[in-house]
Amino acid sequence: MVERNNTCKACEGTGMLADDEGWQYKCSVCGGEGVRDDNSGPTRILDVDATNRLLD
């Protein structure tokens, strides 16, 4: 079970994110694990298109 204080705040521990159209994708913050480790490395800047969709 995921500890509450280590839960990824972006996906709330599910490992999945969804855009405004309902498309689901793996959380880029925790890598789909649902747990955020504070020592995981530097923040990665993601590319987006003109409508703010991720270009992964």
Cα separation of 22 and 20, whole Å? Answer: 6
pLDDT of the residue at 42: 66
Kindly report the backbone phi and psi dihedral angles of residue 19, in degrees, each rounded to the nearest multiple of 5, phi listed first. -90, -175
Q: Is residue 56 a contact partner of residue 25, using CB atoms and an 8 Å limit?
A: yes
Q: Kindly list the domain boundaries of the chain, sorted by start residue.
A: 1-36
The alpha carbons of the chain give a radius of gyration, in whole angstroms, of 12
pLDDT of the residue at 4: 62
pLDDT of the residue at 24: 92
pLDDT digits (tens, 9 = 90+) for 16-27: 988 888 899 998
Beta strands 24-26 and 16-18 are antiparallel
Task: Give pLDDT < 70 ranges for the chain.
Answer: 1-4, 38-43, 56
Contacts of 23 (CB under 8 A, 6+ apart): none
